[in-house]
């Protein structure tokens, strides 16, 4: 709810928040939510401590047919996301994933 309030104070209206399939994407993750906003949709993954996401690294691996493969290096394992082009952001204890480049800029 705090993230929704922060977004609202920066001009991004949250239409709804839903449970995310990425709630256990990283070991020890606090949770995750899918946000639907007037700027687009994104996943927000939450850590207990900002340090948990401090050293995440995302590597894009070229694929055929305009598909994208991302390897997200974190502790203690590597996670993979495949499909359409995605954009990743990190702020404090939140890791954002969106398919919308303009939304990624807005979140920044």
Tens digit of each residue's pLDDT (9 = 90 or more) over 22-74: 998 988 889 999 999 999 999 999 999 888 888 889 999 888 888 899 999 98
On whether the CB atoms of residues 43 and 97 are closer than 8 A, the answer is yes
Mean pLDDT of the chain: 92
pLDDT score at 76 = 63
Q: Which two tokens stand for residue 96?
A: 């954002």
The angle formed by the CA atoms of residues 3, 24 and 13, to the nearest 5 degrees, is 20
For residue 39, what are its two tokens? 């700027």
Whether residue 75 is predicted with pLDDT greater than 80 in this model: the reply is: no
101 vs 74, higher pLDDT: 101
């Amino acid at each position: 709810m705090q993230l929704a309030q922060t977004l609202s104070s920066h001009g991004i209206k949250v239409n709804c928040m839903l449970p995310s399939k990425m709630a256990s994407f990283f070991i020890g993750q606090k949770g995750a939510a899918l946000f639907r906003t007037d700027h687009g949709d994104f996943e927000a993954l939450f850590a207990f401590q900002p340090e948990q996401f401090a050293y995440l690294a995302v590597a894009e691996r070229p694929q055929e047919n305009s598909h994208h493969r991302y390897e997200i290096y974190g502790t203690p394992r590597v996670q993979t996301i495949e499909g359409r082009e995605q954009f990743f952001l990190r702020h404090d204890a939140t890791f954002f994933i969106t398919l919308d480049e303009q939304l990624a800029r807005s979140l920044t």
